[in-house]
Amino acid sequence: MTAEFATPGPSPLPGTPLPYVLEAGEGERAHLFDQLFTVLLSGDETDGQFGVFTMEAPKGRAIPVHSHTGVHEIFYVLDGKVRVVVEDGDGGTLDEVLTTGDFGYVPAGHRHTFRVESHRARTLGVNTGGFERFFGAAGERTASRMPPARPVVPSPEQLGEAARAYRNEFHLDAHLLD
Amino acid sequence: MTAEFATPGPSPLPGTPLPYVLEAGEGERAHLFDQLFTVLLSGDETDGQFGVFTMEAPKGRAIPVHSHTGVHEIFYVLDGKVRVVVEDGDGGTLDEVLTTGDFGYVPAGHRHTFRVESHRARTLGVNTGGFERFFGAAGERTASRMPPARPVVPSPEQLGEAARAYRNEFHLDAHLLD
């Protein structure tokens, strides 16, 4: 049995504010669409203050336009090229291609999308504590260490339930990126 | 006049929860001891929830043992090798060498130290909002894009004042790392 087909084990996160370390790639891994998400830290360890995750994905289509009610989020590019488009709250948009080492900030309530524009890209995200488990709830937990070979597309019911639970609003009528 | 001798300009951070991006290396840069700190996000943009910074330093001596009252902190290694030692709260210590992509968590109140063990190392830090400006207050703001050529050693008064303002307790009698 390879890791690809192994059952995800228990979370390596302690669930309470205790010191711990994770080797690169370890964490709570989940597949959603064509992305591999790995949660390194959750609100359970930070008194709800913040969570940390990494994302890896191949070049692909833009994520549906969405916003996070009450949840701030950062994009820090570890490797590759990611285009981020976010409404500036004043009728305009900020539309930037971020490469390795670049940083983008999306405050709570601002509608945004992003698209990987290099062969592969990896980002590190930080969010208001709790939101980091949206990806596992909307997609599926995995033992795999790679982005999914075939996109993991949740049912509208599963996506809707995860979105409600994690205050992630999709705006399917909004257009920010071709 | 080179950037090395330029005066640090105004902060590129908006100071309020608005979207923005920073090119790699941009942010509020400060020198403290042999380290270059760059603040990418502060508590002012996140309703006090979290701040984000990068740190770059050459191989060197361990940072004095310290703890952060009420402030959680992560170490994510972007490049190089960093040894982190943190008291586990149960009489023992967690003592780990972290390399690129590895993650370490130091919850509030846990005494800890770290040391760069490769030629150079870069880390990304996330902390409870507000603490990120300790480095600039304890050291000096800089326009330089490099770690300092000579260590920036604050006076005991400046270090003490910054430590009190940012709830950073030094434990100079504690020994965690040779």
For the beta carbon of residue B103, count every other beta carbon within 10 angstroms. 24
Cα four-point dihedral sign A79, A63, A107, A50: negative
- Domain membership flag for residue B17: no
Q: In what order do the strands lie in the sheet with A168-170?
A: A93-99, A81-87, A112-116, A66-68, A168-170
CA angle A112, A114, A116 (to 5 degrees): 175
- Domain membership flag for residue A16: no
Q: What is the 3-state secondary structure (H, E, C) of B100-150?
A: CCCEEEECCCCCEEEEECCCEEEEEEEEECCHHHHHHHHCEECCCCCCCCC
- According to the model, what pLDDT value does residue A7 have? 85
Give CA–CA dist A104/B70, Å, rounded.
Answer: 27
CA distance, residue A26 to nearest chain B CA (Å): 9
Banded model confidence at residue A5, pLDDT cuts 50, 70, 90 = low
Helix ranges restricted to H, chain B:
134-138, 156-165
- Domain membership flag for residue A7: no
- According to the model, what pLDDT value does residue B5 have? 60
For the beta carbon of residue A163, count every other beta carbon within 10 angstroms. 17
pLDDT digits (tens, 9 = 90+) for B141-153: 999 999 999 999 9
Residue B157 has pLDDT above 90, yes or no: yes
Of all residues in chain A, the one with the smallest CA distance to B88 is: A19
> Please, is B5 exposed, middle or buried when counting C-beta atoms within 10 Å of its C-beta (0-12, 13-18, 19+)?
exposed
Q: How many angstroms from the chain centroid is the CA of residue B43?
A: 15
CA distance, residue A53 to nearest chain B CA (Å): 11
Give CA–CA dist B68/B169, Å, rounded.
Answer: 6
Q: Which two tokens stand for residue A67?
A: 């916003």
Q: CB distance from A163 to chain B under 8 Å?
A: no
Can you give the residue range of the structural domain that contains A75?
28-170
Q: CB distance from B87 to chain A under 8 Å?
A: yes
CA distance, residue B175 to nearest chain A CA (Å): 18
Q: CB distance from A28 to chain B under 8 Å?
A: no
- Domain membership flag for residue B100: yes
Q: What percent of chain A has pLDDT over 90?
A: 91
- Domain membership flag for residue A65: yes
Give the pTM. 0.96
A residues 56-85 lying closer than 8 A (beta carbon) to B: 72, 74, 76, 78, 84
As a dihedral over the C-alpha atoms of residue B21, residue B24, residue B28, residue B30, rounded to 10 degrees, the angle is 170
Give CA–CA dist B105/B108, Å, rounded.
Answer: 10
CA angle A103, A104, A105 (to 5 degrees): 130
Cβ atoms of B27 and B148 closer than 8 Å: no
- Domain membership flag for residue A22: no
- According to the model, what pLDDT value does residue B7 have? 85
- According to the model, what pLDDT value does residue A20 have? 98
Arithmetic mean of pLDDT, A68-79:
97
- Domain membership flag for residue A166: yes
Q: CB distance from B108 to chain A under 8 Å?
A: yes
Q: Which residue has the tokens 């100079």?
A: B172
State the total domains in chain B: 1
Q: What is the CATH number of the domain that holds B145?
A: 2.60.120.10
The b-or-e profile of B148-159 (16+ CB within 10 A means b, else e) is: beeebebeeeeb
Assembly ipTM? 0.95
The distance in angstroms from the start CA to the end CA of chain A is 41
Which of A24, A45, A106 minimises the CB distance to B19?
Answer: A106
User: Is the CB of A19 less than 8 angstroms away from the CB of B86?
Assistant: yes
pLDDT digits (tens, 9 = 90+) for B51-92: 999 999 999 999 899 999 999 999 999 999 999 999 999 999
Of all residues in chain A, the one with the smallest CA distance to B104 is: A21
Q: Which two tokens stand for residue B116?
A: 């760069």
User: Is the CB of B21 less than 8 angstroms away from the CB of A99?
Assistant: no
Cβ atoms of A148 and A36 closer than 8 Å: yes
Task: Kindly report which listed range (A36-50, A95-109, B2-16) carries the lowest average pLDDT score.
Answer: B2-16
- Domain membership flag for residue B12: no
User: Is the CB of B19 less than 8 angstroms away from the CB of A46?
Assistant: no
Q: CB distance from B10 to chain A under 8 Å?
A: no
Of all residues in chain B, the one with the smallest CA distance to A87 is: B19
Cβ atoms of A167 and A68 closer than 8 Å: yes
